[in-house]
Amino acid sequence: MTIVEEHTPNPAAGDEHRPIGYGRLQRKEDPRFVRGKGHYVDDIVLPGMLHGAILRAPVAHARLVSIDTTQALANPKVVAVITGKDLEGLGLAWAPTLSYDVQAVLVTDKVRFQGQEVAFVVAEDRYAARDALELIDVEYEVLPPLVDARKALDPDAPVIRDDLEGRTDNHIFDWEAGDAAETDAVFASADVVVSQEVVYPRVHPAPMETCGAVADFDPIDGKLTLYETSQAPHAHRTIFAMVAGIPEQKIRIVSPDIGGGFGNKVGIYPGYILATVGSIVTGRPVKWMEDRSENLMSTSFARDYIMQGEIAATKDGKILGLRTNVLADHGAFNATAQPTKYPAGFFHIFTGSYDLQAAYCKVTGVYTNKAPGGVAYACSFRVTEAVYLVERMVDALARRLDMDPAELRLKNFIRPEQFPYPNKTGWEYDSGDYEKTMRLSMEIAGYDELRREQEERRARGELMGIGISFFTETVGAGPRKHMDILGLGMADGAELRVHPTGKAVVRISVQSQGQGHETTFAQIVSEELGIPPEDIQVVHGDTDQTPFGLGTYGSRSTPVSGGAVALVARKVREKAKFIAAAMLETRPEDLEWEKGRWFVKGDPSVGKTMAEIALGAVGTIELPEGIDGNLDAEVTYDPPNLTFPYGAYICVVDVDPGTGVVKVRRFIAVDDCGTRINPMIIEGQVHGGLTDGVGMALMEIIEFDEDGNNLGGSFMDYLIPTAMEVPNWETGYTVTPSPHHPIGAKGIGESATVGSPPAIVNAIIDALSPLGVTTIDMPCTPARVWEAMQGRATPPV
């Protein structure tokens, strides 16, 4: 592995030569994880706890005729069976989705996707609950399924959402961004227009730990404690309070260690509600934990975008505009998690990293008989689809113009002096130096040499491909006036307290699923206060112990919560100044800060360390007016804008001409996420994301047969990459701080998942181009590559 170490300046520290905190500090959470001592939802065992299991629909579309639960209830180990009818009585049969639609918690009228929740059994143990599912007798009247989004708007398509009043079709929304007329004019004036259909198939985040909950309702004081696999415990609590009618102060949501989320754990699944109802009904705690097939078939999928792309340019390669029409398959309920204003997420960042004259996109959302959810899987709210589209289109243009794809990109990048850059669909990119990052990536790759090698290999009949992707992301949602979930604005709180002995605790509203927040957020505090990171405890994941905030997704923890933590630490530092002044019997304005200590200007030997001030704060000295005796503070941070990290990725593949098997031989990833808090964690995030990218590019897909059966319901069918399929990642970085973030940091958690698939697919098309191949859809399985090599399924560009 090559790591190109470059100096990381930290402008906020006022010191050009010091990395944030302790640089490559090892993760504080790992001692428990590597020893198998993490504490996950399924590790929770409460006295008297019962187990729930969900009966799921075997078909994709069917009218529910009857349910008979008598036999199941007769089983002595079964304590309760809950059906849609029971929930109807409680007003809980339908719950709001995160997109202002409704979703059935349990089917009352009609099954709308295979794997949908039909009944809930609560039993003495997990096995009994599972076994009892077979004793429930359900009669279905099977209806024709609709699993092809292209047919969703046909006049004779079955209407899936007949529960919605007056609904006669499967149309959810039309959404557009950019200026259509201006874009048409630019296209009319262009020398070259290239069009291509680009499909991003349905995939699944498939975290190692599936979703689950333990609900513990105390009938005496009416308090619900809900242990959940949640990326956003506070948002869940507020929504639970609104839906279930339990007063918010009586709800405590705890998200303990989480074994990966990747967007899968943003939504509120019927299982969480059912465990809660189960606990209320039985008066005992109820655990519900999905198995792998339930996770793959019924929880948030990702992508499922059919994109018609068009790119316009001059004949010498100046890109003028981009235009696209997208068909978005949202499944049976519109449950995508994204800001209300943006039904297609942040897809309108599809103008990428290029300085364009015009751009326009239109996205049409439709219902199909597939599982709802959507957006999830390290996507930055649909940026994944956007980046895939633009990077495929730029490569198609390069082929048409017979230009090198790196050269074409370099020619069209937004230039450093153009930042802050307003793009044509409404974003303002904060900062960037794209050319520098691209050139570093080319240097690590030895790009010119690779092209020479490719020529030689081609002459020998070998299929070697080089693919590039340059992406810009929009991460760190807020500000809250533009971004919300169900009206809850996207901002985050932080509370910091320095204990009398100088150790600190910082309470945050975001939730780690493996990203290392206990380490990096301690590093931010350490940087600001000079307290060693090991002396700072990061508390998260418990709504009774942490301030309100919207949680972790869209790589927003560092951009938003990280900003909150830096600001709350600065507030504590300010308060410490007043206390130090009282201790030193001087005026606050006569003090100066150096890491960890306030001292008298001009007399550095006279000062007080953070630990001394913390003790002083609770001591006997007289404090100045308005300063109370505790070294603590709280803030809510509403970011002024998103952050726009970016990266230059180069992929080298070899395709076996005899079998169509693709081998990713090299992958070079140069990322820029602004100020880097912990380079080791960043590298881990990038490695993970690149591995996701190999999975999506080569093997992952959730498909359906014409009867609506989900063909990706197990890891035998839904393939994920292993160490065998990934190369030694070669990573590098540049540092262009975000000008508006308190420490200049941008997010990194999804960059590599977003950026890598187009590089891999572009490399495959490049490898196959001597055979006349101009396009291929993911996943590029040996069968698909073989088809393309035979000249099938690849229309001319």
Provide the token pair at 727: 């190369």
Exposure string of 579-604, with b = 16+ CB inside 10 Å and e = fewer, is bbbbbbebebeebebeebbbbbeeee
260 binds, among ligand CUM, ligand MCN, none (CB under 5 to 8 A by kind): ligand MCN
Burial of 352: CB neighbours in 10 Å, binned 0-12, 13-18, 19+? buried
What is residue 724's DSSP assignment?
G
Query: What is the separation of C-alpha 742 from the centre of its chain, rounded to a whole number of angstroms?
Result: 22
378 binds ligand MCN (CB under 6 A): yes
Provide the token pair at 113: 């996707």
554 binds ligand CUM (CB under 6 A): yes
Q: What is the C-alpha to C-alpha distance for residues 274 and 43, in angstroms, rounded to an integer?
A: 19
Stretch that binds ligand CUM, among 262-270, 449-457, 670-678, 705-713 (CB under 6 A): 262-270
- Nearest of 664, 99, 748 to residue 375 by alpha carbon: 99
Is residue 457 helix, strand or coil? helix
Q: What is the C-alpha to C-alpha distance for residues 346 and 665, in angstroms, rounded to an integer?
A: 32
> From the list 272, 377, 593, 704, which residue makes contact with ligand CUM (rule: CB under 6 A)?
377
378 binds ligand CUM (CB under 6 A): yes
> From the list 94, 187, 200, 262, which residue makes contact with ligand MCN (rule: CB under 6 A)?
262
* CB nearer to ligand MCN: pick between 146 and 337: 337
513 binds, among ligand CUM, ligand MCN, none (CB under 5 to 8 A by kind): ligand MCN
CB of 380 to ligand MCN, least distance (A): 7
Query: What order do you get walking across the sheet with 117-123 strand by strand?
Result: 78-83, 117-123, 50-56, 286-289, 212-218, 223-228, 251-254
CB of 642 to ligand CUM, least distance (A): 13
Dihedral (Cα; 780, 784, 788, 793), 10-degree rounding: -110
599's CB contacts (< 8 A; 6+ apart) are 591, 592, 605, 606, 607, 608
> From the list 515, 641, 710, 775, which residue makes contact with ligand MCN (rule: CB under 6 A)?
515
> From the list 376, 652, 653, 761, which residue makes contact with ligand CUM (rule: CB under 6 A)?
376
> From the list 52, 115, 256, 263, which residue makes contact with ligand MCN (rule: CB under 6 A)?
263
> From the list 289, 600, 673, 763, which residue makes contact with ligand MCN (rule: CB under 6 A)?
673
* CB nearer to ligand MCN: pick between 392 and 746: 746
* CB nearer to ligand MCN: pick between 372 and 749: 749
278 binds, among ligand MCN, ligand CUM, none (CB under 5 to 8 A by kind): none
* CB nearer to ligand MCN: pick between 231 and 412: 231
Query: What order do you get walking across the sheet with 603-609 strand by strand?
Result: 591-594, 597-600, 603-609
128 binds, among ligand CUM, ligand MCN, none (CB under 5 to 8 A by kind): none
* CB nearer to ligand MCN: pick between 289 and 383: 383
User: Under rule CB under 6 A, which residues in 748-767 are in contact with ligand CUM?
Assistant: 750
> From the list 175, 227, 305, 553, which residue makes contact with ligand CUM (rule: CB under 6 A)?
553
* Structural contact between residues 346 and 386, judged by C-beta atoms closer than 8 angstroms: yes
> From the list 200, 217, 240, 262, which residue makes contact with ligand CUM (rule: CB under 6 A)?
262
Q: Is the dihedral of CA 369, 373, 375, 381 positive or negative?
A: positive
Number of residues that bind ligand CUM (CB under 6 A): 13
> From the list 747, 755, 758, 779, which residue makes contact with ligand MCN (rule: CB under 6 A)?
747
Provide the token pair at 80: 């309760």
CB of 505 to ligand MCN, least distance (A): 18
696 binds ligand MCN (CB under 6 A): no
DSSP percent split of the chain into helix, strand, coil, nearest 5: 30, 25, 45
749 binds ligand MCN (CB under 6 A): yes
Q: What is the C-alpha to C-alpha distance for residues 733 and 719, in angstroms, rounded to an integer?
A: 30
CB of 563 to ligand MCN, least distance (A): 10
Angle at CA of residue 236, ends 234 and 240, nearest 5°: 120
555 binds ligand MCN (CB under 6 A): yes
Bond preceding residue 532 cis, omega within 30 of 0: no
Burial of 124: CB neighbours in 10 Å, binned 0-12, 13-18, 19+? middle
652 binds, among ligand CUM, ligand MCN, none (CB under 5 to 8 A by kind): none
* CB nearer to ligand MCN: pick between 266 and 442: 266
Residue numbers at the binding site for ligand CUM (CB under 6 A): 231, 261-263, 266, 375-379, 553-554, 750
Residue numbers at the binding site for ligand MCN (CB under 6 A): 207, 260-263, 378, 513-517, 520, 552-558, 673-678, 681-682, 685, 688, 745-750
